[in-house]
Chains A and B, each alone.
Chain A
Amino acid sequence: MSENTKVVENATCTFCGCVCDDMDLTVDLDEHRITKAKNACVLGRAWFAEHTVEAYPAALIDGKEATTEEAVEAAAQILVNARFPIIYGMSDTTCEAQKQAVAIANYLRANIDTTTSVCHGPSGMAFQGVGESSATLGEIKNRADLVIYWGGNPAEAHPRHFTRYGVTPKGMYIPNGKKDRTMVLVDVRETPSAPVADIFLRVKPGTDFEVLWALRALVKGRTIDSSIEEKTGIPLETLEDLVERMKSCQFGVLFFGMGLTMTRGRHFNSGALLALASDLNEFTHFVANPVRGHGNVTGADNVVSWQTGYPFGVNFNRGYPRFNPGEFTTADVLARGEADAACIIASDPASNFSRPAIEHLMKIPVITFDPKPSVTSKLAKVAFTTATYGINVPGTVYRMDDVPITLRPAFESPYPSDEDVLTAIKNRILELKAAA
């Protein structure tokens, strides 16, 4: 470590949706690396330690080194000449970059979708169908005395969720922290999150909807048959006890994760949980918040919603935005072999999509934006190396509870930001369309 260091106080970690903004980063300015990340969790420490300035080419075209300007031209030509271009990803970049991506989709009459569609997309559908009773994490920290985590494992996926927001912190009306709260965990297995729970409910795989609907019935005073245990793995008495706790708490919260959205039932599961939270407001204050994965996936929902009216899976083909999950969501568009060009921003669908979707991605020209090589960038026709948001790039991100947070970058990168490259591509697209 050199002696040329500085400390960035209250910096933000953008690795996960917790977006913890109390990082004190020690930065080696000569080596362009963060040497210490005070307050970071195990995932945050890896995020800061591993994002240094590495010697990647600024851009690759057909696997050969190119300048950013050459790659911008190549990307613009691909997108302008495509009949059904798709823009996808955006959960690990700033809202400012996301705005440029939506503008490009609009000008191209393209399809635009975010990683939300394969994350809490089903919850997004449920919000529209059922509504959302929610609160900020600050409000939950200060008020919630009953905290239920359903279908998630924060100890491994969001390590500071327990300590910063949901379980152990002392709050205005929760002066003794965990002692004043009851924490319930619902999952198909005893994860490392289970020891934190006061009550662990092990639900049989694929029966979350049945459990949630039974809880709704009990909240409304209906009778449930004891055979619910055989179906779901949870005894009726346990459900009755939970309902009593939910109805009698001062402020309850249901945090829910991929265990609901990625399993059979999908949006029906999320909808059942949201409806349960709404039902409980006849008795007490109860909210439901999705636990979001990537650092700015919530920002992607917000930006795409501001600009198109819909949160994900949006198509501009008719000159105005249309929303239809299953039709305009990227996993489907690719698996059906429909798109003829793809612009992948800060995500890695070649790692996360089904085989049919990946096979189609391999047949069409792909443009990628990523600070590091990824499985998707390896198959790209044009691959940009971009600076890392939050570490090198300022801007705005949204925490998982829809609270916007301003980034405080640690050191400069030799690579451009996603926003800079997207803006350049957008401007070139406008020139090409004007000339056509």
Chain B
Amino acid sequence: MAETIMLVPVRTNKQGTSLNAGKLKDEYQLVTSTVEIDPADMERLGLTTGDKVRLRSPAVETVVTCQQRKGKGSTAGMMFIAYGPPSSELMDGDTAGTGMPLSKHLLVEIEGPLAS
């Protein structure tokens, strides 16, 4: 099952501490390839924490691991991922003449759970 959801790349403590250890290290790779999804969206999509999902923008797709969001308040319709290579490559190369690619609020198609 695939549907379009807004992806919001964000900063997290773990992303900040793991990038100091090194961007080529396992922890940073894990932190930046884990997407947090609202419990209601997880249930509707038939996902459980640890499932692999495919995120697809018009030109690029990447596979990440999903995790149920623990924060307060509903964020249905939005997913959150720590900034890193998987989120960045989903951005469009065009900056609309500003120099800044739209790096948040990316509309991506999510497909999963993928067979492991």
Contact = CB atoms under 8 A, between A and B. Distances in A.
Interface stretch (A130-138, A247-255, A349-357, A405-413): A349-357
A46 B20 contact: yes
B115 interface: no
A363 interface: no
Contact of B72 (A49, A194, A326, A350): A194
A384 interface: no
B102 A326 contact: no
Nearest to A189: B75
B102 A263 contact: yes
A118 B93 contact: no
Contacts of A351: 23, 84-85, 88
B104 A43 contact: no
B92 interface: yes
Q: Is the interface of B mostly helix, strand, loop or mixed?
A: loop
B91 to A, nearest CB: 4
B46 interface: no
Contacts of B13: 42-43, 156, 159
Contacts of B104: 258-259, 262-263
A335 B94 contact: yes
A149 to B, nearest CB: 13
A331 interface: yes
A262 B20 CA distance: 24
A211 to B, nearest CB: 15
Contacts of B78: 188-189, 205
B30 interface: no
Given A189-B78, A190-B73, A312-B99, A374 B24 contact: yes
A358 B84 CA distance: 13
B20 A118 contact: no
Contact of A358 (B10, B59, B89, B94): B89
Contacts of A322: none
Interface residues of B, number: 42
A46 B18 CA distance: 8
Contacts of A205: 6, 8, 78, 105
A121 interface: yes
B105 A47 contact: no
B11 A325 contact: no
Contact of B24 (A46, A354, A373): A373
A375 B101 contact: no
Nearest to B21: A50
A16 B23 CA distance: 17
A16 B16 CA distance: 10
A379 to B, nearest CB: 12
Nearest to B11: A157
Given A189-B78, A205-B8, A51 B20 contact: yes
Nearest to A313: B99
A239 to B, nearest CB: 20
Interface string B23-66: 11000000000000000000000000000000000011000000
Contact of A118 (B10, B24, B100): B100
Contacts of A326: 95-99
B4 interface: no
Given A259-B104, A325-B97, 7 more contacts: A43-B13, A188-B8, A258-B103, A262-B100, A332-B95, A352-B88, A356-B59
9 contacts: A15-B16, A43-B20, A121-B99, A188-B75, A190-B71, A263-B105, A325-B95, A331-B101, A372-B22
Of all A-B residue pairs in the complex, the 6 with the closest CB atoms, nearest first, are: A329-B99, A326-B97, A335-B93, A356-B93, A46-B17, A157-B11
